[in-house]
Structure formats: structure tokens, C-alpha cells
Amino acid sequence: MTAPQSVTRRGLLRRTGGGLGALALTWLLGEDGRLVAADGKPALPLKATGKAKSVILLHMGGGPSQVDTFDPKPALTKYAGQNVPDAIAKRVPKGNERLRTANLHPSPFAFKQYGRCGLPVSDLFREVAAHAGDLCLIRSMRHDSPIHTPADYLALTGSLTGQRPSLGSWFAYGLGSENQDLPAFVAMVAGENFSGPPIYGSGFLPPQHQATVVKAGDGLPDLGRPAGTTAAQRRGQLDLLATLNRQHLARHGPHDELDARIGSYEMAFRMQAAAPPVFDLKTATKGEKTLYGLDDPATAEFGTNCLLARRLVERGVRFVQLIQGGWDAHGDLKDNHAKQAKLVDKPIAGLLADLKAHGLLGSTLVVWGGEFGRTPTVEGDVKKPGRDHNPAGYCVWLAGGGVKGGQVIGATDEVGYTVAERPVHPNDLHATVLHAFGLDQHTLWYEHSGRKEIVTNLGGEVVKEVFG
């Protein structure tokens, strides 16, 4: 038998110090989001080291027209009724040859310059224009799908197929929520949704990372306990149910959907206490109701969604996705866009103002845009002209979350038909959103079917100009 070795005080301190150093290094790597688990997978949640801590994504479903909102084209008056010049039309991306080239049509809306930056914005967004100094406008978005649903999928999941996780689901998976009593990802839908659940779904990620869907004014459905049931009784019921579900897992092996169901029961129990104050609109002040347009039937629904979005990010929810459909103006664009802008202009301006007033705009990245833009040419009845789909050149804007406001990135040609400078793909935009959180797009990944999947599956480059 070997005699025990003596340990000197100096040796003990050296060994203890090494152990403490290793613990400190592990903690620091975890804080930086660089810790890798024993199986080679990233240790989650990752650490958001950038200025942004949450996202509010404002998706204008149907495709708002760039030349009638944020990309003025005076040349449309000069060329009214003529065809798109051949030198411009031939630059249309492959697959978009169907885009209409006949009968260029000037915008029926007037543009003015706003703020010290002189950003031109149409009369459709007079309220948002008051925040011109906070907006980083990208006028050179482009991709290859002129069809709503694939374009929605591309804009919100990074792929045309609808089988990949939505951007919000990636954030829920990679960063989680800063509030364990509320979901990491919440979606609210107003108006028509062409593409259904995939645009806020989890794809191949575990199901618990899909959005919790909320209807404006209704809050979370079935949030209350059954009549006559105490909190203690409900806790006991859930504990029993969890035990039975785990026994099932032990017998039959891992099952993502059952894991998600167990987690959703626990989340629902915690939300019964945490969620009511968020969704109780009776607590909205008179000032908030005026700011968001809750007292106007035209703006009440989207205004409610915007108010709830501010409340949610204030409480640590990571990603809030607001969808406002109805921008598909194939006919009578003037009437369509006027009505659609009326629904969202004041609420969005209220959201930006309220985030700033609460000290949240610096840590909340707000992103506005649709799945594509619209052609500068006429579609339909020339007496009430509309515009067709156009993914060859359109606008998005970002605000807050470390973004440099009061600037324009990229440009379309003189009639707004195709991108002429600094093309930006939706995958580039996704990489840029990740960068606002201090995350490299290759850091956040998930192994699926033997492949290391990342958010920007088809490639993406950070638009660094966004951050100045």
C-alpha cells in the first residue's frame, strides 16, 4: 500500500488556484457564448455581447411599394407611361423575368425630407418620419422569388422552402429569454397571413422554440386555472403529469415533441402569474392609448400589438414578431397603401417613441419591411392602377440596438426597378441582426440530419455600414 503523499501549504494553494482559475475561465467562456459542451455542441444559452438584447420585427405582409414609401423616384414623372429602359430591365435577377416593364407610373404620394439627415419619406409615413434620425434605411434589398409564400419564407426563415426555423426561433434556441416566466419568442398577427405558421415556426429546431402566438386584445388564450382549482392543486397535477411523461421518455427514448410539451406545461404554469400584467390593456395609461392610437378603430389593433411588444421586451422577451398583412396592391395602390399605412404609421411611431422614453431603444433592435417591394409600372386598371410584386429592389429599415440612424444604405436605379448599388440579400440582413447581438452567424448552430445548420444557411454577410 502506497503511503499518502504529504501536501504542503504552497502545493495546496497552487492546486486550488489552478482549479479556481479553470472555474473562472469556464464562467468567462460561458458569458462570452464561446463555451462548447462535451459533445461538441455550443453551450446554450449564448451570451449577447452586442448592444441589442431583443428584437421587434415588423413584417408588412404582401409587399409595400418602395417607390411609394421610402425610395422616391422623380424620374417616374419624366418617364410616365413609358417602358422600363432596356438597360435597367436587363439587370433583373434570374427568375424574375416576369416582372412588368410596361407603363411606368409616378407615385401618387408626395415625399418630404425629415430630420437633420434629410431622409425622404412619403406622406404615407408622416408619423414614422418624425423619427428619421433613428432610422437606418436599406434601399437595396433583393432576392429571386416574386411569389408571396416563398418570399415570406426567405425573408423570415432564410430559405424558400418553409422547412427551416424562423429567425425568432433561432433566437429563442440560442439566447433564450431573460425572463423565465415568459416565452422567448412571441408572434402577433393582424390582417392576412399568406404563409401561415412556418414564418414563426421552429422548423427542425425543437418545438419549444416556435413562437407563442397572441391575438391582439385577447392576450394569451386559456391562461386562467380551471374553476375551483388552487395554485397548489394545479402544481400537484403538473408534477404528476411531468412524472408520467418522464417515465414514458425513459421507456421509449428521447422525443422532441414530448420534451416541448413538458416544457410548455411548466411555462404555462409560470405565465399564469407573470403574463396577466403584460396583457391587461386596462392598465394602459391615457398617454399610452393616445401614443399608440388605441382610441382609434383604425389603429387600435396594430397599436395594441406594438404596446404589447414594448411591454414584452421590457420584461426580457427576446424576440417579438408583429405581422400586418394586406399590402398586396395589384389594383388601386393609392387606396390600398393609404389604408394600410393608416393602420401602422402611428403605432410604429408610438413604439419608437415609447422605447426611447423607457430607455429601451438602445437595447431593442426594431426591423421594418415586407417580403418584397412592388414594380414602378402599372398593373390592372389604369384608372385605379396597382403594382406587381418586385423582389429585384425594395426597402427595409432598422432602428435601435446599436444601429446608426439617419442614414441610407444602397440604392435602386432611377425608376426603382432593380438594385443599382450595394445589394443586400435577406440572409445578409439576418447576419446583420445577429451581429447587433454580438453573435457571429457561425456561432449559433444546430445539428440536423448530420449537417451543422446555421441561421444563414445559404450564406450571408454582415452589412457593417448599419452600425456606422
| Distance of alpha carbon 228 from alpha carbon 230, whole angstroms | 7
Confidence of residue 33 (pLDDT cuts 50, 70, 90): very low
| Distance of alpha carbon 62 from alpha carbon 56, whole angstroms | 19
The pairs formed by 290-293 with CB atoms below 8 angstroms and a separation of 24 or more are 291/350, 291/353, 291/354, 292/346, 292/347, 292/350, 292/351, 292/354, 293/346, 293/347, 293/350
pLDDT at 221 over 90: no
Percent of the chain's residues with pLDDT above 90: 69
Count of other CB atoms within 10 angstroms of residue 45: 18
pTM score, whole prediction: 0.85
Residue-wise pLDDT tens digits, 168-205: 999 999 999 998 888 999 999 999 898 999 999 999 99
CB contact burial 174-187 (16+ within 10 A = b; e otherwise)? bbbbbbeebbbbbb
- C-alpha distances out from residue 37 to 18, 34, 90, 307, 449, Å: 21, 10, 51, 39, 19
Q: Are 354 and 79 in contact (CB under 8 A)?
A: no
Residue in the block written with cell 404596446: 307
Residue-wise pLDDT tens digits, 38-92: 445 667 889 999 999 999 999 999 999 999 999 999 999 999 999 999 999 988 8
